[in-house]
């Protein structure tokens, strides 16, 4: 796709953007005279293009940039010829676009739009906004491109987004796949009918697609053949015959590219194979080219990962601290052995930084989150990268808090006496980093609770003589799994004699041994 734009430098090919003076600016400004219009070709892009409008020819500045010496009128049809696409090595057919206020996009799809709109008027050098809008809506609908905006310079560049699509189902990928297929369609027709008749042939094909009424299935030989048949009914018999002599090449090339339902790199690979044959084809040789049968062998299938799962956890309960290990089955229809497949663990569908090994140990940040294992199978040869596959996420359970190192300290640091103050202490911990709430305390005498003794301190009384005193703590977290298991520590209070010169009932202290 080619996008023309004034004073703007982008980074991908098959799109030229062109603006008149006063057009959209960007941070990458090319200094040109006020009366000129610069053309930026995305890199990698079509190179060596002859870009014209009327009697004006753009000058190639290098690195994909072109420049017109004057401004262009809105609605004017701009043509690019003799281009080579750096991405697919294709010798591109003649393609066209329409100048608008904020630029003009030139692509295989806009070529169909221009041709369909031009069929409604006597002259084809300028298209009204109404005709452009109507033709765009029909072509987009017939090609099943959803909300794609092929003539909008700000949104037409699908290439970067399509290359980043690992599934191959985004609007950008669908549009790019269709664009690659249409390029080969137009190229095959151009070879068959010749340069002087290609405009009328493409116009008839564009009209057939626009007026189809229902989406044209480019993966179906019957559907594409129907388009060609409808188009020939609108053509001179000589041109119609030439179009149909190339029908096998057209149908097979369009099907081969459109049928690559995975990542866009598969469609690019198919286009490269088609281009290898079309670049050297002639009007005579194209009659016998069956591109589908010739490129099927050379398109290597991508590897796959199935039965994705992981092992680990506590009998099905996954908690912080568990180590999970991903598992999957690698396969490649072409027998390509597995290369360095890549792994990614995700937390709530976002990649966990550094978690790119087959195993992953759950951390506190994972508590309460959905953890997913994803594998992207990579082959050592052939079509190297397969589609990323994710295991259905599992929730990480919150763990209860714990208390450890529970102990009792006597304030006199010696033998415990009635009246001494005992202090209970412990270490609180929560593997999920839930902070401590209001933990519970209980002092016990011979395993029975002491009424009212529910703080971390306790003062020994006469009734404690000859018993075992225990301090018990039940850790409580403020969030998550709140209540932990009670933990205790005990001391033995041995029987002892009381001081003899005082009544036992009035003793304030008593030596406990």
Residue 471 contacts residue 459 (beta carbons within 8 Å): no
Residue 334 contacts residue 300 (beta carbons within 8 Å): yes
CA dihedral 206, 210, 215, 217 (to 10 degrees): -10
Residue 345 pLDDT class (50, 70, 90 cuts): very high
Residue 136 pLDDT class (50, 70, 90 cuts): very high
Q: Is the pLDDT of residue 133 over 90?
A: yes
Residue 440 pLDDT class (50, 70, 90 cuts): very high
Q: What is the pLDDT of residue 243?
A: 87
27 versus 353: the higher-pLDDT residue is 353
Q: What is the pLDDT of residue 373?
A: 92
Could you read off the pLDDT of 312-321 as tens digits, one per residue? Answer: 756 567 888 8
Instruction: Give the whole-angstrom CA distance, residue 79 versus residue 95.
Output: 6
Q: What is the pLDDT of residue 122?
A: 56
Number of Cβ atoms within 10 Å of the Cβ of 323? 12
Residue 325 contacts residue 289 (beta carbons within 8 Å): no
Residue 20 contacts residue 104 (beta carbons within 8 Å): no
Q: Which domains does the chain have, with CATH numbers?
A: 2-295 (no CATH), 304-395 (2.60.40), 402-506 (2.60.40.2700)
Q: What is the pLDDT of residue 12?
A: 29
Residue 374 contacts residue 388 (beta carbons within 8 Å): yes
User: Which whole number is the average pLDDT over 118-128?
Assistant: 74
Q: For strand 402-410 and strand 389-390, is the pairing parallel, antiparallel, or unpaired?
A: unpaired
Question: The dihedral of CA 171, 174, 177, 178: what is its sign?
Answer: negative
Q: Is the pLDDT of residue 231 over 50?
A: yes
Q: Is the pLDDT of residue 457 over 60?
A: yes
Q: Which of 13-17, 96-100, 117-121, 344-348 has the highest mean pLDDT?
A: 344-348
Could you read off the pLDDT of 82-105 as tens digits, one per residue? Answer: 888 877 888 889 988 888 776 778
Q: What is the pLDDT of residue 28?
A: 30
Instruction: Give the whole-angstrom CA distance, residue 88 versus residue 69.
Output: 30
Residue 74 pLDDT class (50, 70, 90 cuts): confident
Q: Is the pLDDT of residue 383 over 70?
A: no
Q: Is the pLDDT of residue 285 over 90?
A: no
Instruction: Give the whole-angstrom CA distance, residue 178 versus residue 174.
Output: 6
Residue 112 pLDDT class (50, 70, 90 cuts): very high
Q: Is the pLDDT of residue 509 over 80?
A: no
Residue 489 contacts residue 470 (beta carbons within 8 Å): yes
Q: CA–CA distance from 365 to each of 106, 323, 361, 369 (Å)? A: 49, 14, 11, 8
Strand, coil or helix: 298: coil
Could you read off the pLDDT of 184-225 as tens digits, one per residue? Answer: 899 989 988 888 899 999 999 999 999 998 889 988 888 999
Instruction: Give the whole-angstrom CA distance, residue 509 versus residue 499.
Output: 9
User: Which whole number is the average pLDDT over 51-60?
Assistant: 86
**Which of 207, 225, 90, 106 has its CA nearest to residue 157?**
106
318 versus 143: the higher-pLDDT residue is 143
Q: What is the pLDDT of residue 501?
A: 39
What's the mean pLDDT when you consider all of the chain? 78
**b/e burial code for range 199-233 (CB count within 10 A of at least 16 → b):** bbbbbbbbbbbbebeeebbbbebebbeebbebbbe
Instruction: Give the whole-angstrom CA distance, residue 489 versus residue 259.
Output: 72
Q: Is the pLDDT of residue 266 over 50?
A: yes
In the chain, % of residues over pLDDT 70: 80
**Which of 355, 387, 388 has its CA nearest to residue 369?**
355
Could you read off the pLDDT of 384-428 as tens digits, one per residue? Answer: 777 888 877 777 777 888 888 998 888 877 677 778 889 999 999
Instruction: Give the whole-angstrom CA distance, residue 160 versus residue 375.
Output: 23
Within 259-365, residue ranges assigned H as helices are: 264-278, 291-295
| The pair of three-digit structure tokens given for residue 512, joined into one six-digit string | 């406990």
Q: What is the pLDDT of residue 113?
A: 92
User: Which whole number is the average pLDDT over 102-123?
Assistant: 81
Residue 81 pLDDT class (50, 70, 90 cuts): confident
**b/e burial code for range 444-480 (CB count within 10 A of at least 16 → b):** bbeeeebeebeeeebebeeebbebebbbbbbbbbeeb
Q: Running DSSP on this structure, what letter comes out for residue 273?
A: H
In the chain, % of residues over pLDDT 90: 21
Q: What is the pLDDT of residue 32?
A: 34
Instruction: Give the whole-angstrom CA distance, residue 456 versus residue 406.
Output: 11
User: Which whole number is the average pLDDT over 366-376?
Assistant: 88
**Which of 9, 7, 3 has its CA nearest to residue 154?**
3
Could you read off the pLDDT of 9-44 as tens digits, one per residue? Answer: 222 234 444 433 333 333 233 333 344 565 544 434
Q: What is the pLDDT of residue 468?
A: 86
CA dihedral 341, 345, 348, 352 (to 10 degrees): -110
Q: Running DSSP on this structure, what letter comes out for residue 511?
A: B
Could you read off the pLDDT of 443-453 as tens digits, one per residue? Answer: 998 889 999 99
Residue 88 contacts residue 271 (beta carbons within 8 Å): yes
Q: At what angle do helices 221-232 and 198-210 cross, to 10 degrees?
A: 120
Q: At what angle do helices 198-210 and 171-193 cross, to 10 degrees?
A: 140
């Amino acid at each position: 796709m080619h996008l023309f734009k004034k004073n703007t430098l982008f980074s991908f090919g098959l799109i030229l953007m062109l603006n008149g003076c006063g057009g959209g600016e960007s941070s990458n400004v090319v200094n040109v005279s006020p009366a000129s219009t610069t053309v930026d070709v995305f890199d990698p892009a079509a190179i060596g293009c002859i870009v014209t409008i009327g009697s004006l020819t753009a000058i190639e500045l290098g690195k994909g940039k072109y420049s017109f010496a004057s401004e262009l009128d809105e609605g004017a049809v701009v043509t690019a010829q003799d281009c080579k696409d750096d991405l697919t090595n294709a010798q591109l057919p003649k393609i066209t676009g329409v100048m608008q206020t904020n630029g003009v996009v030139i692509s295989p799809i806009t070529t169909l739009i221009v041709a369909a709109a031009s069929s409604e008027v006597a002259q084809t050098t300028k298209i009204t906004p109404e005709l452009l809008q109507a033709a765009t809506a029909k072509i987009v609908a017939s090609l099943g491109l959803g909300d794609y905006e092929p003539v909008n310079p700000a949104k037409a560049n699908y290439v970067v987004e399509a290359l980043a699509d690992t599934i191959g189902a985004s609007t950008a990928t669908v549009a790019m796949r269709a664009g690659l297929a249409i390029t080969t369609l137009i190229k095959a027709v151009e070879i068959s009918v010749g340069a002087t008749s290609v405009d009328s042939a493409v116009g008839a094909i564009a009209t057939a697609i626009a007026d189809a009424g229902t989406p044209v299935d480019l993966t179906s030989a019957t559907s594409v053949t129907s388009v060609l048949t409808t188009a020939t009914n609108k053509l001179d018999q000589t041109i119609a015959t030439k179009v149909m002599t190339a029908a096998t090449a057209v149908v097979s090339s369009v099907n081969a590219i459109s049928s690559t339902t995975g990542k866009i790199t598969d469609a690019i690979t198919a286009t490269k194979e088609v281009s290898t044959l079309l670049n050297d084809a002639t009007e005579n040789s194209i009659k016998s080219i069956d591109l589908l049968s010739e490129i099927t062998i050379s398109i290597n299938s991508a590897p796959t990962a199935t039965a994705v799962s992981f092992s680990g956890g506590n009998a099905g309960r996954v908690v912080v601290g568990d180590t999970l290990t991903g598992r999957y089955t690698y396969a490649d229809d072409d027998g390509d052995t597995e290369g360095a497949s890549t792994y990614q663990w995700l937390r709530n569908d976002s990649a966990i930084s550094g978690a790119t090994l087959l195993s992953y140990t759950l951390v506190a940040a994972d508590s309460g989150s959905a953890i997913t294992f994803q594998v992207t199978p990579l082959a050592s040869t052939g079509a190297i990268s397969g589609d990323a596959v994710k295991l259905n996420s599992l929730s990480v359970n919150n763990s209860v808090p714990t208390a450890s190192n529970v102990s009792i300290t006597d304030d006199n640091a010696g033998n415990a006496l009635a009246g001494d103050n005992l202090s209970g202490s412990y270490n609180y911990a929560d593997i999920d980093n839930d902070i401590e709430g209001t933990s519970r305390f209980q002092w016990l005498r011979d395993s029975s609770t002491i009424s009212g003794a529910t703080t971390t301190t306790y003062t020994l009384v006469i009734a404690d003589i000859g018993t075992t005193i225990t301090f018990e703590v039940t850790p409580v977290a403020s969030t998550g799994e709140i209540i932990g298991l009670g933990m205790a520590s005990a001391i033995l209070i041995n029987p002892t004699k009381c001081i003899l010169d005082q009544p036992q009932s009035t003793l304030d202290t008593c030596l406990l041994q």
